[in-house]
């Protein structure tokens, strides 16, 4: 008997050891469901170990000790999910509290967050995000309705129980706020306390309370067959409702995603219906820095077929404000290249090319400062920048405004090293708005 007990407790300890190993490991990662399975598995073996030991001792003391073990494991999971779990957007304890961020980290308006997620049910919010923020907060403290009254006699009074739950929620929200692992949200209070109160009321139903006590404390309370039927049928209905809700939400999400992709990432087929073409530059689009041409007069014959349905002239798509599909010049150029339809792009203004040696392009910040902005405006061409062989290349366009001269300072900063690379230019704009420039200093 004792060998079996030791074996079961040993397996339970192994599950906890794996849980701890994963928690401290920087190599092995497991989502919240995986960790929950480990803890539930551990509780499963603790339960049967305690069951055998209680039969051997002929009392239920091991089962009462198990309740404390379950409670501690639940607290461990709760702390992990609310403060440390990266899957829930938590990053551990970072004491960088700033009053400047009060407006973005505190919500004291009841139902603001709840309403946002309810309205987001028909949106591209992920199903997981909505269910975790709504039902996850409802379920999170439901186990307290089981543990507190069973382990602490005073918690059998609803007033004491609610006060304790309020204190627990306040502590969690406060810790999330001051450690920057989450927000202080009044709606979390509402959902947490609502869930705990509902479960408290359910567990106070005599047949359910007796059923729970029979399982976890090995008591012999009498329960009628009708009560068993009501308990398990209610549980089945709740589980079925959850499955149905998740299924409905996934269908809504997939439909919204299809609609989104059709509009914002449509399939584009380019068709050139030109039969004869006069060789002359034919402008089909102009933005703030460049003009785009076909090499012959065919802009009235180059079409885009969208999602295998609608057919539009390319120039119509690019020059129509608030076009129903999200198609910009870069998507059109990519499709023109794919279908081997030649085009020409010309710069509208003179430009300066910069080549910066850097290992990580994301660490580079570029800025340009014009001494006299009445004479000159400048703009980096970020969309057409490139990074190859640890060299970042980008153009800065010089946009004339009126006749005159101005100093120009261009600064590149490496965020990883705080190293600055500076260029100083003298720029002149003549009466015809022609731009000339000279490098004065580079350091």
Could you read off the pLDDT of 114-162 as tens digits, one per residue? 988 888 888 888 888 888 888 889 999 999 999 999 999 999 999 999 9
Q: Which residue has the tokens 């060998």?
A: 3
Q: What is the pLDDT of residues 219-242, one digit of tens each?
A: 989 998 888 898 899 889 999 998
Taking phi first (over 0 means left), then psi (-120 to 50 degrees means alpha), and beta for anything else, what does residue 435 get?
beta
Mean pLDDT computed over 36-52: 91
- Could you tell me the pLDDT band of residue 96, with boundaries at 50, 70 and 90? low
Nearest Cα neighbor of 310 from 341, 267, 272 is 267
Least confident of 118-127, 242-251, 379-388, 417-426: 118-127
Mean residue pLDDT of the chain comes to 89
Residue 26 banded pLDDT, cuts 50, 70, 90: low
* pLDDT value at 382 more than 70: yes
- Residue 86 has a pLDDT of 56
Sequence-separated (6 or more) residues with CB below 8 Å from residue 74: 39, 143, 147
What pLDDT is stored for residue 339 in this prediction? 96
Question: What does the pLDDT read at residue 304?
Answer: 97
pLDDT class of 31 with cuts at 50, 70, 90: confident
CA-wise closest residue to 269 among 210, 327, 192: 327
Average pLDDT over residues 173-188: 81
Q: Secondary structure of the chain in the HEC alphabet? A: CHHHHHHHHHHHHHHHHHHHHHHHCCCCCCCHHHHHHHHHHHHHHHHHHHHHHHHHHCCCHHHHHHHHHHHHHHHHHHHHHHHHCHHHCCCCCCCCCCHHHHHHHEECCCCHHHHHHHHHHHCCCCHHHHHHHHHHHHHHCCCHHHHHHHHCHHHHCHHHHHHHHHHHHHHHHHHHHHCCCCCEEHHHHHHHHHHHHHHHHHHCCHHHHHHHHHHHCCCCCCCCHHHHHHHHHHHHHHHHHHHHHHHHHHHHHHHHHHHHHHHHCCCEEEEECCCCCCCCCEEEEECCCEEEEECCCCCCCEEEEECCCEEEEHHHHHCCCCCCCCCCHHHHHHHHHHCCCCCEEEECCCEEEEEEECCCHHHEEEEEEECCCCCEEEEECHHHCEEECCEEEEEEEEEECCCEEEEEEEEEEECCCCEEEEEEEEEEECCCCCEEEEEEEEC
| Region label for 389, one of left (φ > 0), alpha (ψ between -120 and 50) or beta (otherwise) | left
pLDDT for 104 beyond 70: no
For the chain, what percent of residues have pLDDT higher than 70? 93
Mean pLDDT along residues 60-65: 93
Check whether 102 has a pLDDT greater than 80: no
**Residue 22 confidence (pLDDT) above 70:** yes
pLDDT at 29 over 90: no
252 closest CA partner among 126, 131, 122 = 122
Task: Give the pLDDT confidence of 308-365 residue by residue, as tens digits.
Answer: 999 999 999 999 998 999 999 999 999 999 999 999 999 999 999 999 999 998 999 9
Lowest mean pLDDT among 97-101, 368-372, 378-382, 390-394: 97-101
Alpha-carbon torsion, ordered 289, 294, 300, 302, to 10 deg: -100
Whether pLDDT at 99 is above 70 = no
Give the pLDDT score at 85.
Answer: 63
Q: What is the pLDDT of residue 335?
A: 96
Let me know how long the chain is.
443
| Over residues 48-69, mean pLDDT | 91
Q: Identify which has the larger pLDDT, 23 or 254.
A: 254
Whether 430 shows a pLDDT value over 70: the answer reads yes
* Sequence-distant (≥ 6) Cβ neighbours of residue 162 within 8 angstroms: 193, 196, 197
- Closest C-alpha among 293, 338, 330, 320 to residue 310: 320
Cβ(188)–Cβ(137) below 8 Å: yes
Spatial contact of 381 and 394, defined as CB atoms under 8 Å apart? yes
Q: How many CB atoms lie within 10 A of CB 426?
A: 15
CA–CA distance, 429 with 405 (Å, rounded to integer): 6
**120-129, 159-168, 184-193: least confidently modelled range:** 120-129
């Amino acid at each position: 008997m004792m060998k079996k007990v030791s074996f079961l407790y040993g397996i339970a300890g192994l599950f906890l050891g794996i849980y701890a190993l994963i928690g401290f490991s920087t190599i092995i990662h497991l989502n919240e469901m995986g960790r929950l399975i480990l803890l539930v598995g551990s509780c499963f073996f603790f339960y049967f170990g305690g069951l055998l030991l209680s039969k051997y001792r002929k009392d239920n003391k091991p089962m009462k000790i198990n309740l404390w073990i379950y409670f501690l494991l639940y607290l461990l999971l709760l702390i992990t999910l609310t403060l440390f779990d990266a899957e829930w957007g938590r990053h551990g304890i970072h004491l960088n509290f700033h009053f400047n961020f009060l407006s973005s980290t505190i919500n004291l308006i009841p139902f603001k967050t709840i309403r946002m997620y309810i309205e987001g049910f028909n949106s591209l919010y992920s199903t997981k995000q909505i269910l975790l923020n709504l039902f996850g907060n409802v379920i999170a403290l439901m186990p307290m309705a089981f543990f507190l009254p069973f382990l602490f006699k005073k918690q059998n009074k609803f007033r004491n129980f609610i006060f304790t739950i309020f204190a627990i929620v306040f502590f969690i929200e406060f810790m999330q706020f001051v450690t920057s692992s989450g927000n202080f949200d009044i709606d979390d209070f509402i959902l947490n306390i609502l869930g705990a109160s509902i479960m408290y009321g359910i567990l106070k139903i005599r047949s359910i309370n007796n059923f729970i006590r029979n399982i976890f404390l090995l008591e012999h309370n009498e329960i009628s067959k009708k009560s068993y039927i009501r308990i398990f049928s209610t549980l089945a209905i709740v589980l079925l409702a959850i499955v149905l809700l998740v299924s409905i939400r996934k269908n809504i999400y997939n439909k919204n995603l299809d609609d989104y992709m059709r509009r914002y990432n449509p399939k584009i087929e380019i068709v050139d219906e030109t039969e004869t073409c006069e060789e002359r530059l034919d402008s089909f689009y102009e933005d703030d820095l460049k003009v785009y041409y076909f090499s012959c007069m065919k802009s009235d014959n180059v079409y885009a077929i969208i999602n295998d349905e609608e057919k539009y002239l390319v120039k119509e798509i690019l020059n129509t404000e608030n076009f129903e599909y999200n198609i910009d010049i870069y998507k059109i150029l990519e499709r023109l290249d794919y279908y081997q339809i030649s085009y020409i792009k010309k710069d509208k203004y003179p430009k300066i090319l910069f080549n910066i040696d850097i290992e990580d392009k994301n660490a580079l910040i570029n800025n340009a400062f014009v001494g006299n902005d009445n004479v000159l405006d400048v703009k980096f061409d970020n969309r057409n920048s490139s990074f190859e062989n640890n060299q970042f290349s980008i153009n800065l366009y010089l946009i004339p405004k009126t006749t005159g001269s101005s100093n120009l300072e261009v600064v590149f900063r490496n965020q990883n090293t705080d190293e600055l690379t500076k260029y100083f230019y003298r720029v002149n704009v003549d009466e015809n708005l022609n731009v000339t420039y000279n490098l004065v200093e580079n350091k």
